[in-house]
Amino acid sequence: MKQAKRLSALPDVKRTDTTSDGIDVAVSFRAVVDHIVVANRRPTAWEAGCLYAALCELAIGREKNARRRICLALLPGAKQELPVRIFPLPTAEELLQALALISQTDLDKLGKRPQPD
């Protein structure tokens, strides 16, 4: 299966965790955040909660659970209980920065840290 294109220009994020459909979990995360950026708005409480929960799952290596949380972020959640309450709500940029830090930590653990040019 082909890898999906990276939607955001974050050269330091190089995850290779893929789900059964072959799409990189970090790419899916960025696609949801890019959707928020393109709409020129801040994440809703529901989106922020789901995306934060996805980051937590990624940080402990649970890519399938992270993927579920990312998918939940796309659903309207006004009448559902928030997965995580976050105050203040993070911006799209802060969510992407957190993803970059988690990805870099994973690369450090694997000893595959990119070498500076």
pTM for the predicted model, two decimal places: 0.67
Rounded percentage of the chain residues whose pLDDT exceeds 90: 41
In a domain, 14, yes or no: no
3-state SS assignment for residue 16: coil
Whether 9 is covered by a domain: the verdict is no
Asked if residue 11 belongs to a domain, the reply is no
Q: What is the pLDDT of residues 77-90, one digit of tens each?
A: 656 666 667 778 88
Residue 43: give the domain boundaries. 25-110
CA distances from 28 to 32, 88, 98, 111, 115 (A): 7, 24, 15, 24, 26
Mean pLDDT of the chain: 76
- Tell me how many domains the chain contains: 1
Residue type, 2: K
Residue 2: what pLDDT?
A: 40
**Residue found under tokens 């006004």:** 78
- Name the one residue in this structure whose structure tokens are 């990189």: 24
